[in-house]
Structure 1
Amino acid sequence: MSEFKQTFNSSLGKKLIMALTGLFLCTFLIVHLGGNLLLFKHDQGFAFNSYANFLTHFPPIEVIAYILYISIIVHAVYALVLTLKNRSARPVGYAVQPKSDASWSSKNMGLLGSILLLFIVIHMSDFWFSYKYDNVLKFKEYRTDLATNVTTVGEYVPQVADFERSISTENNVEIVRVKDIHARVQESFSKLWYVAFYVIAIAAVAFHLLHGFQSAFRTLGWVHRKYQPIVYFFGTWFFGVIIPIGFALMPIYYFYLSLNK
């Protein structure tokens, strides 16, 4: 046990924990983007509101969510510890900075991580906290005619204080009543400053992942000449380009809609 503890207290151990939590967070980004893509459906928030309710009320997902929160905290804390340790090992900078092949993102992981941490706090307080604990969100009622598959939407006022969601069928009409987090998305992304901050944070995600994804594989020793191009491709194009663009398009799209109401 002492050897195990000593290993994870070492610099290498901390890097291993950062690598594992970082890869877990990469997996979360894929799932989260998949959910966000529902916002592009022209269904007045039906799919996204149902998805948000599922995430917050399905027990296995809730367990994974708390693992996610812990991973974010551990990843951030260990990143700070390693950064401070590296600086203390060389308290006086070089008089002349030597040339380095390191990328800009690898040299500025601390700055990028700080932007991301600030973004996560603001983002979760605006959406996750509002959905779970703030009673300001309204409710929507979706009525779908099962014969024609036509859905009509209206406001719904719950008759009980702890109402979350209900599904029923009356006269061949499916009635879904659910909390309207979609309205919060529309409201938040109608503000230019919020959209700008969101896009800047997503750019930080892109640069953070450009270095972090490949670095995690190197730390774990999963480096092989045969598979290195695959890791490079996913780190550069999938996590560094495609996923950030997918996230950035959403606030831009909703801001555009708000301007054209």
Structure 2
Amino acid sequence: MAKSALLKSSLGKKYWMALTGLFLCLFLVGHLLGNLQLLSGGKDAALNFNKYALFMTSNPAVKLLSYLTYFSILFHAVDGILLAVKNKKARPIQYAKENPQANTIWASRNMAVLGTLILVFIVTHMVNFWSKMHFDENMPLQTITIENGGASNEFYVTTDGSYLPVSQFEQGILEIKNRTDFYDATAGVKMKEGYKDLYKITVAFFKNPDYGLIASILYTLAMVVLGFHLYHGFGSAFQSMGANSPKYTPFITNFGKAFSILVPLLFAIIPLYIHFIL
């Protein structure tokens, strides 16, 4: 009975909203640190980002955290919608002299709308990048071009730091199986593993002459929405969990405001940098 009340009551919903929201804030930081490698520039930017992508999709501990992240996103979204509906039903008739602007900020009054927009962004983001990384049979593998004696030769980059000539694959000496595994074509023995080139996919998406600019602008606007959502949600999460005291609340509030500006801003810089500078 107690467990049911914890899930169904408004207090319980706010508690779980806070927990999942704070967990997702940690995910944002980790995801941002990986994505910032796109801004590093230089010849190693692609390899560093693709190493990060491989680690995020192959490490067992990270996979477990990924499933927890998917659950948290869905639970946070559904719980938020149910809480908004429940609050609406609790007061179907508005007060005659209601003036919410005087007591609450705009973000707090529109958290459900902001959250819905973020959910739409997450879905489209996963379709364009996550799904390709996991399921696209035509996902390119990272290559590097090396100049030698006036001739240019292309090589596949392997996870052990060696290179395999693309010409050997064209000649049928080597072949690619399972999207990343390099095999001896004759013996059928696995030789090396390569990197899926998510860097190439990402850069091509935001630099696409047909929709790259629009995609970059929409991504940036999505980060503005995320910033407003975090601006209210970060501090509200701690308040819902009872962390509300004269000693710590000012710090939490100020940290939350800085977090809600800095993290979305850094995310927003990435597509703009790729489209206009890279």
**TM-score when scaled to structure 1?**
0.86
Q: Shift of the alpha carbon at 1:233? A: 1.8
Tell me which residue corresponds to 1:207. Answer: 228
Q: Shift of the alpha carbon at 1:185? A: 0.8
For the residue of structure 1 that corresponds to 2:138, the secondary structure is: coil
Q: Shift of the alpha carbon at 1:95? A: 4.3
CA distance in 2, matches of 1:38, 1:222: 35
Tell me which residue corresponds to 2:55. Answer: 54
For the residue of structure 1 that corresponds to 2:143, the secondary structure is: strand
Tell me which residue corresponds to 1:6. Answer: 5
* Residue number among 129, 132, 138 corresponding to 1:130 in the alignment: 132
Does 2:162 match 1:161? no
Q: What is the RMSD computed on CA atoms of the aligned residues?
A: 2.1
When residues 44 and 6 of structure 1 are mapped into structure 2, their CA distance, relative to the original with a 3 A threshold, is closer
Tell me which residue corresponds to 1:245. Answer: 265
Q: Please list, as runs of the form range in 1=range in 2, the aligned pairs for 1:73-222 lying within 5 A after superposition.
A: 73-99=74-100, 100-142=102-144, 154=155, 159-164=175-180, 177-190=194-207, 191-222=212-243
Q: Shift of the alpha carbon at 1:188? A: 1.6
Tell me which residue corresponds to 1:23. Answer: 22
> Contact 1:112 / 1:205 at 8 angstroms: preserved in 2?
yes
CA distance in 2, matches of 1:137, 1:122: 18
Unaligned runs of 5+ in 1: 145-151, 167-174
CA distance in 1, matches of 2:154, 2:17: 45
When residues 193 and 12 of structure 1 are mapped into structure 2, their CA distance, relative to the original with a 3 A threshold, is same
> Contact 2:38 / 2:49 at 8 angstroms: preserved in 1?
yes
**TM-score when scaled to structure 2?**
0.81
Moved more, 56-65 or 152-161: 152-161
> Contact 2:228 / 2:260 at 8 angstroms: preserved in 1?
yes
CA distance in 1, matches of 2:229, 2:155: 42
Moved more, 92-101 or 113-122: 92-101
CA distance in 2, matches of 1:153, 1:235: 47
CA distance in 2, matches of 1:184, 1:220: 41
CA distance in 1, matches of 2:256, 2:246: 16
Q: Shift of the alpha carbon at 1:101? A: 1.8
Q: Shift of the alpha carbon at 1:3? A: 1.5
* Structure of greater Rg: 2
Residue identity in the other structure for 2:81: L
> Contact 1:49 / 1:181 at 8 angstroms: preserved in 2?
yes
Residue identity in the other structure for 1:24: F
> Contact 1:165 / 1:178 at 8 angstroms: preserved in 2?
no
CA distance in 1, matches of 2:240, 2:85: 19
Does 2:267 match 1:255? no
CA distance in 2, matches of 1:179, 1:109: 37
Residue identity in the other structure for 2:34: G
> Contact 1:141 / 1:177 at 8 angstroms: preserved in 2?
no
- Matched residues, percent identical? 37
Residue identity in the other structure for 1:123: H
Q: How big is each residue's C-alpha offset from its partner over 1:23-58, in whole Å with a ceiling of 9 and x where there is no partner?
A: 000000110110011111222511001110111001
When residues 223 and 84 of structure 1 are mapped into structure 2, their CA distance, relative to the original with a 3 A threshold, is same
Tell me which residue corresponds to 2:73. Answer: 72
